[in-house]
Structure 1
Amino acid sequence: MPHATQRFAPYPVGRVYQLIEPGPVVLLATSRAGTPNVMTMSWHMMVEFTPPLIACIVSPGDHSFAALKATRDCVIAIPPVELAETVVGIGNCSGAHVDKFARFGLTALPAEKVAAPLIGECFANLECRVVDTRLVNRYSLFVLEVVAAWIDPKREAPRTIHHAGYGRFRVDGEEILIDSRMP
């Protein structure tokens, strides 16, 4: 039997994340002392259905880290592909120096259960509260509970972008249906 290294080529372990990115690039909105901020985030994953829990990485180097740690709430907004350049622009600057809502023409809308704003240009907004910080100091990993969710019913089948590393993105596309017993 041939050895695996005869069939496969080595791949840099530092780029593995490009193969396994779990979901769409999202915007994480926070608000601290009445000042909203937004960051681009692609390192997140669902960890539970009921209640809906999302784990996400927010680095201490991100301006949003201090706000999320202090306020313990945020909004995860899911942008459509039409906002791809805006999403990258948001990720390429810091809220410590720039009012990103103003710079990128985003509409901050009041949320129902958290202080962070919804983002009007996104097709879905998830109001979240931090429910677990045990892995923040070690891995910058926050566990969030979705406490309210909103979707724009006028947007049919919005397409999302997925980070593939180094300025490359994939756009979701064809939907297939396969019988499943999952809810």
Structure 2
Amino acid sequence: MKNLPLNKIVRWLEPGPLVLVTTADQGKNNIMTMGFHMMVQHDPPLIAFILGPWDFSYKALVGTKECVIGIPGVDLMEKAVDIGNCSGADVDKFKEFGLDGLNAEKVKAPLIKQCLANIECKVVNTDLSKKYNLFIVEAVMAWVNSDRKEQRIFHHKGDGTFSVDGRTKDLKDRMTKWKDLIK
């Protein structure tokens, strides 16, 4: 993996792909599958997501106030679904699903080597977490794995079906108001 500038992570999250979230608490790493997230702003890069007490990762996130958001490629689609169908309370998901955790630079939660990108995050706002289970995190470091052959991401449609990103259409020349975002 190589460093990804933080102002570029919106390119991975804006389309709303299914993501894998890692946490680390008291020496135990965990992974959960998440579909409810969104970019809040570019600078600093803020991301909002839903995580509730029904998730094993909730206690770790509340206690450590940090996580990693990993963006898996299509080749990890079935694993991502399976990760969401079991609890870290019962299963070591890294071992069970053959995923490699890498040390992050700014948080204790691990990166996932097999993901296309990993975004290290720290919780910056919990005002709506008690009422809506909504957390806002700031991206503090981001990594992209451009050497991976499979670069497509996928989206959960909310009913057990998924769409897969395909071709990319370049319209950078039309982005006249947002030139600083297309560099």
Q: TM-score, normalised by structure 1?
A: 0.86
Change beyond 3 A, Cα 1:146–1:170:
same
Q: Tell me the CA shift for residue 123 of structure 1.
A: 1.2
Alignment partner for residue 151 of structure 2, among 155, 158, 162? 158
In the TM superposition, what are the counterparts of 1:73-152 in structure 2 within 5 Å? 73-152=66-145
Identity, in percent, stands at: 53
What is the distance in 1 between the residues matched to 2:124 and 2:155? 26
Q: Contact 1:22–1:44 at 8 Å: present in 2 too?
A: no
Q: Match of 1:165, SS?
A: coil
Q: Match of 2:17, SS?
A: coil
What is the distance in 1 between the residues matched to 2:96 and 2:146? 27
Q: Contact 1:25–1:41 at 8 Å: present in 2 too?
A: yes
Q: Contact 2:74–2:150 at 8 Å: present in 1 too?
A: no
Instruction: Find runs of 4+ consecutive structure 1 residues off by over 2 angstroms.
Output: none
What is the distance in 2 between the residues matched to 1:72 and 1:30? 9
Letter in 1 for 2:35: S
Q: Tell me the CA shift for residue 156 of structure 1.
A: 6.0
Structure 2 gap ranges (5+): 1-13
Q: Tell me the CA shift for residue 104 of structure 1.
A: 0.3
**Structure 2 residue 47 is the aligned partner of structure 1 residue 54:** yes
What is the distance in 2 between the residues matched to 1:98 and 1:123? 24
Aligned length: 163
CA RMSD of aligned residues (A): 1.4
Which digits, 9 at most, give the CA deviation of each residue in 1:70-120, with x for residues without a partner? Answer: 000000000000000000000000111111111001101100000000001
What is the distance in 1 between the residues matched to 2:86 and 2:115? 19
**Structure 2 residue 32 is the aligned partner of structure 1 residue 45:** no
Structure 1 gap ranges (5+): 1-20
